[in-house]
Amino acid sequence: MPGIGDVTSATIIAELPELGDLNRREIASLVGLAPFNRDSGQMRGKRSIFGGRGSVRSALYMAALSARRYNPAIAAFSKRLTEQGKPPKVVITACMRKILITLNTMVKTNSTWENPQNA
């Protein structure tokens, strides 16, 4: 997958042996990329991410920065979110989650990277 280098690959393989065994929500939660809401009653709080495996999250952060430039699918996804007015950190986090889910699906289906027509 464009934007995923040797260090990121090694980190994900070493720190995330569950890759390919879990569904997209479970893998995102395991890494700490699932949004957590802080709602109470009728008050709608902020959504944030936390917890999970920090080393994988750090590697995915750097991969997302690279993939936004070199991976056409992630670049289009990032551009679409930016045009919707999302803050830069939210866009990067969404790209991290998309990369993780894509890698999880690739391992689960034993397939290689194919550039999708629309991201």
- Cα 21 from Cα 82, distance rounded (Å): 32
**Length of the chain as a residue count:** 119
- Cα 119 from Cα 117, distance rounded (Å): 7
- Provide the pLDDT for residue 54: 84
- Considering the chain, what is the average pLDDT of its residues? 87
- Cα 38 from Cα 89, distance rounded (Å): 18
pTM of the model: 0.84
Q: Burial, 85: exposed, middle or buried (Cβ in 10 Å; 0-12, 13-18, 19+)?
A: exposed
pLDDT tens by residue, 24-80:
989 988 898 877 776 677 777 676 776 788 899 999 999 999 999 999 999 999 999
